């Protein structure tokens, strides 16, 4: 992989984290559940890191689809966006244990305040589509950078 393309990917991942943080911070701005004990800022950073990790996985899946299966780039981008949306939209269900408890509760990875009460119901319909749109933007920009830097020179 070209060094400029790699730097572009790293920059886009940092951009995705910033966008994810902004979306998630605004999503739970008025939530009384994210105030204590970790605080709204720390909980948002934790979930934004998890969403960014999922974005990286879905982006790699799109790259594998594009390079190894020789699929059209639009199909690879679509795979990345769909995998991001499905993974993030199912996050409230994956983390919920039952009776108001979540996996990773009272640990360093506690982000249950994002899915408590109605916030968990709204997450797949508000935050997940916005994060999938951020994936679409980042994948498109990565495609543009890849096309620009790997084009044959004459």
pLDDT tens-digit series, residues 106-147: 677 677 777 777 778 899 999 999 999 999 999 999 888 877
Please give the residue range of the domain that contains residue 138: 3-149
The pLDDT > 90 percentage for the chain reads 45
Q: Which residue has the higher pLDDT, 100 or 5?
A: 5
For the segment 144-152, the average pLDDT, to the nearest whole number, is 64
Residue 154 lies in a domain: no
Residue 92 lies in a domain: yes
For the segment 84-88, the average pLDDT, to the nearest whole number, is 96
Mean pLDDT of the chain: 85
Residue 131 lies in a domain: yes
* pLDDT at residue number 115: 79
* pLDDT at residue number 106: 67
* pLDDT at residue number 96: 76
Residue 47 lies in a domain: yes
Task: Please state the domain count of the chain.
Answer: 1
Residue 87 lies in a domain: yes
| Three-class SS of the chain | CCHHHHHHHHHHHHHHHHHHHHHHHHHCCCCHHHCCCCCHHHHHHHHHHHHHHHHHHHHHHHHHHHHHCCCCHHHHHHHHHHHHHHHHHCHHHHHEEECCEECCCCCCCCCHHHCCCHHHHHCCCCHHHHHHHHHHHHHHHHHHHHHHHCCCCC
Residue 59 lies in a domain: yes
* pLDDT at residue number 80: 95
* pLDDT at residue number 111: 76
* pLDDT at residue number 154: 45
């Amino acid at each position: 992989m070209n060094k400029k393309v790699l730097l572009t990917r790293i920059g886009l991942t940092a951009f995705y984290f910033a966008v994810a943080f902004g979306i998630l911070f605004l999503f739970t701005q008025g939530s009384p559940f994210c105030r204590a004990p970790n605080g709204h800022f720390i909980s948002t950073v934790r979930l934004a890191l998890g969403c960014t990790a999922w974005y990286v996985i879905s982006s790699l899946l799109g790259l594998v689809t594009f390079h190894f299966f020789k699929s059209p780039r639009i199909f690879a981008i679509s795979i990345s966006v769909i995998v991001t949306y499905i993974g993030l939209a199912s996050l409230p269900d994956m983390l919920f244990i039952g009776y108001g408890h979540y996996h990773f509760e009272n640990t360093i990875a506690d982000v249950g305040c994002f899915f408590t009460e109605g916030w968990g119901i709204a997450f797949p319909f508000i935050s997940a589509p916005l994060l999938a749109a951020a994936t679409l933007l980042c994948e498109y920009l990565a495609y543009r950078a890849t096309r620009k830097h790997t084009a044959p020179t004459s």
